[in-house]
Structure 1
């Protein structure tokens, strides 16, 4: 059976996963990449090094974000968000975002792409090496699922 997820079901998927895909476009080009994230209160929070996606999102803040929760090929949930990129620039908001990301990911074995948010030795937020912190303000959220019962 294929169906649509409710808002609460979409939010449960977003809260349960760690990796999504962000799609952005600018100057006639599109780009989609995986991204570690935290979902909280209508926003997707993330960080990235300066690069193509940050440059594109600064030019065109309209983005799409997608997350899958897959049990197997017959049991899955998928959420798509359309929203606006908002760079986080004030010190207080940056501190809050770093804490949010660090709290979410500190219990996981993280890679180089997540480590800029916090030290891996003492798990304290970095001060000397700041990534670009941003959030996606959710404007529209939809979800689909498939749940095929075995016979």
Structure 2
């Protein structure tokens, strides 16, 4: 049976997860990308690096964000958020860096990344983290729990 999830349960699930997917679009292209995140009760915070996703987000800040909590094929919950991307600077960035202190920027084997507060513009193999948040406009959630029907065996042998 499919059921709607209350806002309180949605917030609880967001607070206890760290991995989700963000969808964005620009120039007639759509992208869905995995992301490590943190939820502070008001915003979804994330880190990324320069690339296609960030270029698209800067052109069109409207996003969808989704997490799943799957216990088994017959028991799962899904949260979908519609929101707006905001790249962070200054005190807002510092607050997000604090929340995201255990998250990592994805890098390739020949690259290095420093702590979230560092910048090394002179080294092309050094990745500088871009810190952002998603302003939540709409959040919805559903849970599914398969109903089991007991059917006694008719075999009388």
- TM category (shorter chain) comes to 0.7 to 0.9
SS of 1:37's equivalent in the other structure is strand
Change (3 A) 1:68 1:128: same
CA distance in structure 2 between the partners assigned to 1:42 and 1:96 by the alignment: 13
CA RMSD of aligned residues (A): 2.0
Computing the radius of gyration from Cα coordinates, the structure with the larger value is: 2
**Correspondences of 1:55-74 after superposition (within 5 Å):** 55-74=55-74
Contact 2:45/2:133, CA 8 A, preserved across alignment: yes
* Residue 146 (structure 2) pairs with residue 148 (structure 1): yes
| Residue of structure 2 equivalent to 1:5 | 5
When the two structures are superposed, what TM-score results if normalisation uses the length of structure 2?
0.80
* Residue 106 (structure 2) pairs with residue 113 (structure 1): yes
CA distance in structure 2 between the partners assigned to 1:142 and 1:25 by the alignment: 21
- Residue 119 of structure 2 is aligned with which of 113, 122, 128? 128
Contact 1:98/1:117, CA 8 A, preserved across alignment: no
Contact 1:42/1:138, CA 8 A, preserved across alignment: yes
Structure richer in helix, relative to its length: 1
| Residue of structure 2 equivalent to 1:101 | 100
Change (3 A) 1:116 1:3: farther
Contact 1:23/1:33, CA 8 A, preserved across alignment: yes
User: 4+ residue stretches of structure 1 with deviation over 6 A?
Assistant: none
Contact 2:66/2:81, CA 8 A, preserved across alignment: yes
| Equivalenced residues, count | 138
Q: Which consecutive unaligned segments of at least 5 residues does structure 1 have?
A: 119-124
Contact 1:101/1:117, CA 8 A, preserved across alignment: no
SS of 2:89's equivalent in the other structure is coil
